[in-house]
Amino acid sequence: MALQNDYQDVLEVAKTVGAKVESREENGKLILKGSVDHAWDRDRIWDQIKAKHANWQQEIMVNLTVTNAEPYGLYTVKSGDTLGKLAKDIYGDVKLYPKIFEANKDQLKDPDKIKVGQVLNLPPKSIAQA
């Protein structure tokens, strides 16, 4: 149970992104197994692990299946969303919002004008941070 407590922040991120995971401790490691909807959900979990846990390689094993094979993910705009907020939530850096804008130029004319209900393409993290 000690590792479950130590990695509570990771389990909270998994819950926030809607991951369906089971966790158990076995042979001195925390094992997370399950599925996430999009690759960016998986990446947010990994980002949390790597940012907050120096010994993660010895302490945790993660096996997450991505169930949606869309480019990197499709996102339906909700009330209060901005491209900057999405960039911060998904990539960890608000300054990457132009990458989301570029990936959606077919439907967006102005990065400050997104509409509730629009479905945006989210570029892979590797492309967004390049």
Phi/psi at 38 (5° precision): -135, 160
pLDDT above 80 for 72: no
Segment 46-64 mean pLDDT:
94
**For residues 128 and 91, is the Cβ–Cβ distance under 8 A?**
yes
Structure tokens at 74: 């499709």
Amino acid letter, 98: P
* Global pTM value: 0.62
pLDDT above 70 for 79: yes
Segment 41-60 mean pLDDT:
92
d(Cα 50, Cα 40) in Å, to the nearest integer? 15
Rg (CA), the chain: 16
Structure tokens at 22: 């089971």
